[in-house]
Structure 1
Amino acid sequence: MANILITGCSSGIGLETAKLLKDKGYKVYATARKKEDVLMLQELDFISYKLDVTNSVEITEVLERILKLDKALDAVFNNAGFGQPGAVEDLSTEVLKEQFETNFFGTHELTFQAMKIFRNQGYGKIIQHSSVLGLISLKFRGAYNASKYAIEGLTDTFRQELLNHNGIFISTINTGPVTSKFRENALKMFNKNINAKDSYFRNTYEQELKSRLESKEDTTPFNLPASSVAKVVLKIMKAKKPKPRYYVTIATYLLGFAKRVLSTNLLDKLLNKI
């Protein structure tokens, strides 16, 4: 029975992926940052550990537990992450660092430690959860855009360094609009870290950004359920040689194509309407 370590399983994509893989017979190590979420996962009959990807000690401890139980690790799904909304000029350096600590450095730390296991055993799969916002950029998402672009650059390099290894694979999933608690969590981060009342974009924040984040209805075009990403992870797990990149949602295909064919000026005008 193949096993997989998944980060960020408290809800949404992480939880749906854990459920699907478990139902399909995989041994899932479902992790979460908060103790209450770990308890919830354990009540769902998952092997679950507390894992904050910004804590390298916790990463080491979880990997050691897995190896003690199974002697091997087959795959890692780097899913943990969040979005920090706000105009670039309203993002302090500290806020940007906080975004990168989870989305980029946390992802890298787990990958870094897991690779030592994969090199030793001669096989393994790394699945990086990127985004359509790692391909194109949208306004007021600068911190998140930057963190996903960073994942793209590091993973593209890593993939080249693995070209001559037939047992270790790294795949990137570029997810478009998917139903999850992403907007709810993003609103919390906006309220926590952005000084909206003194911003040049104060009116835009109130009339557009916050109203969208506060909305209980997701009217985003081409939106898909979190299970759509879970199915791609399942496909990667089943594949002997997984593809280097997987797009999820029509929006990702359309915007990825636009990035390739449009001039920068035309692309900016298109994206500014979204």
Structure 2
Amino acid sequence: MKQKSILITGSSSGIGYDAAVGLARAGWRVFATCRKEEDCARLRSEGLESFRLDYAEEDSIAAAVKEALARTGGTLDAVFNNGAFACPGAVEDLPRAALREIFEANLFGVHDLTRQVIPVMRAQGHGHIVNCSSVLGFTGLKWRGAYVATKFAMEGLSDVLRLEMADTGVRIVLIEPGPITSLIRQNSIPHFERWIDWRNSPRAAQYESTLLKRLYESRGPDRWELPASAVTAVLIKALSTRNPRPRYRVTVPTHVIAMLRRILPGRALDAFLGRI
């Protein structure tokens, strides 16, 4: 049987890294891409095939797809669009340029990569495109507006693409994790410091009492936090069937909030979410 191949983005740590290692152990040929070459070198030293892919650079995406196809002889069985970053801050404090930057990486790059692999998957008659969304892809929470906006957009685009690709062998899947052990909080700090002028915000006191503590104080794992392997297990499940579910939800909070959205009136849901 021919070895299946998958290209994974954001493989330097967290969900992407665990997915790369887990799928390689499961027998997949994994192309574990990272934004930085030094991270790629580290993964290569661990025995993974790794090269650069930066969602914010169109040439980088094209080069990564070309490299993967050159290594497989022109085929690719799956893509896991995992790479993303956060820019915490109140929505009223988000400059236009900050939103532009996060959409370039979290949505436009994902869309670009997806469009480039679809012709390959069409030609071979099958393929899985798995997009890593979030509980924040269907529920908004305070301080997370920029990230929420990109994930809501990813969900909408994925839903339409899934409908449009139904007459092909290409399957579009969303994974919606809740709290997962990763470096997303630490990695968001430079973006917060670059873009959010919190000291001159009308919400300065709220920043000091809430968001700054969340960002800069290490408080250990959240109560319901799961390891990244929980996402890998769901990813493998989705990839193992030719007719996967449209959505796979990971962690108790994701399931609970999805249920509350169905049963609570809007104001009651807002009151609940406003306390989180």
TM-score (ref. length: structure 2): 0.96
Deviation of residue 187 (structure 1)? 2.0
Deviation of residue 219 (structure 1)? 4.4
Distance (Å, rounded) in 2 between the aligned partners of 1:130 and 1:110? 16
Distance (Å, rounded) in 1 between the aligned partners of 2:85 and 2:220? 18
Please say if residues 174 and 246 of structure 1, whose CA atoms lie closer than 8 Å, have aligned partners that are also in contact.
Answer: yes
Please say if residues 181 and 221 of structure 2, whose CA atoms lie closer than 8 Å, have aligned partners that are also in contact.
Answer: no
Deviation of residue 188 (structure 1)? 2.2
Q: Please say if 1:80 is aligned against 2:73.
A: no
Q: Which residue of the partner structure matches residue 256 of structure 1?
A: 258
Q: Which residue of the partner structure matches residue 156 of structure 1?
A: 159
1:146 to 139, 146, 149: 149
Gaps of 5+ in 2: none
Q: Which residue of the partner structure matches residue 249 of structure 2?
A: 247
Q: Which residue of the partner structure matches residue 106 of structure 1?
A: 109
Q: Which residue of the partner structure matches residue 212 of structure 2?
A: 210
1:185 to 187, 191, 205: 187
Q: Please say if 1:11 is aligned against 2:13.
A: yes
Deviations 1:122-143 (A, max 9, x none): 1110000000001100011110
Classify the secondary structure of the residue corresponding to 1:49: coil
Distance (Å, rounded) in 2 between the aligned partners of 1:228 and 1:269? 30
Q: Which residue of the partner structure matches residue 90 of structure 1?
A: 93
Deviation of residue 220 (structure 1)? 2.3
Distance (Å, rounded) in 2 between the aligned partners of 1:210 and 1:114? 40
Please say if residues 5 and 76 of structure 1, whose CA atoms lie closer than 8 Å, have aligned partners that are also in contact.
Answer: yes
Number of residue-to-residue matches in the alignment: 273
Please say if residues 16 and 227 of structure 1, whose CA atoms lie closer than 8 Å, have aligned partners that are also in contact.
Answer: yes
Deviations 1:245-269 (A, max 9, x none): 1000010000011112211111111
Farther off after superposition, 255-264 or 30-39? 255-264
Q: Which residue of the partner structure matches residue 266 of structure 1?
A: 268
Deviations 1:35-80 (A, max 9, x none): 1101111111111111101222221112112222212000000000
Please say if residues 187 and 210 of structure 1, whose CA atoms lie closer than 8 Å, have aligned partners that are also in contact.
Answer: no
What is the aligned-residue identity percentage? 42
Distance (Å, rounded) in 2 between the aligned partners of 1:75 and 1:145? 25
CA RMSD of aligned residues (A): 1.0
Deviation of residue 9 (structure 1)? 0.5
Distance (Å, rounded) in 1 between the aligned partners of 2:259 and 2:34? 35
Deviations 1:178-199 (A, max 9, x none): 0100110122211121001101
Q: Which residue of the partner structure matches residue 49 of structure 1?
A: 51
Letter of the structure 1 residue corresponding to residue 190 of structure 2: K
Please say if residues 135 and 259 of structure 1, whose CA atoms lie closer than 8 Å, have aligned partners that are also in contact.
Answer: no
Classify the secondary structure of the residue corresponding to 1:126: strand
Aligned pairs for 1:164-203 within 5 A: 164-165=167-168, 167-203=169-205
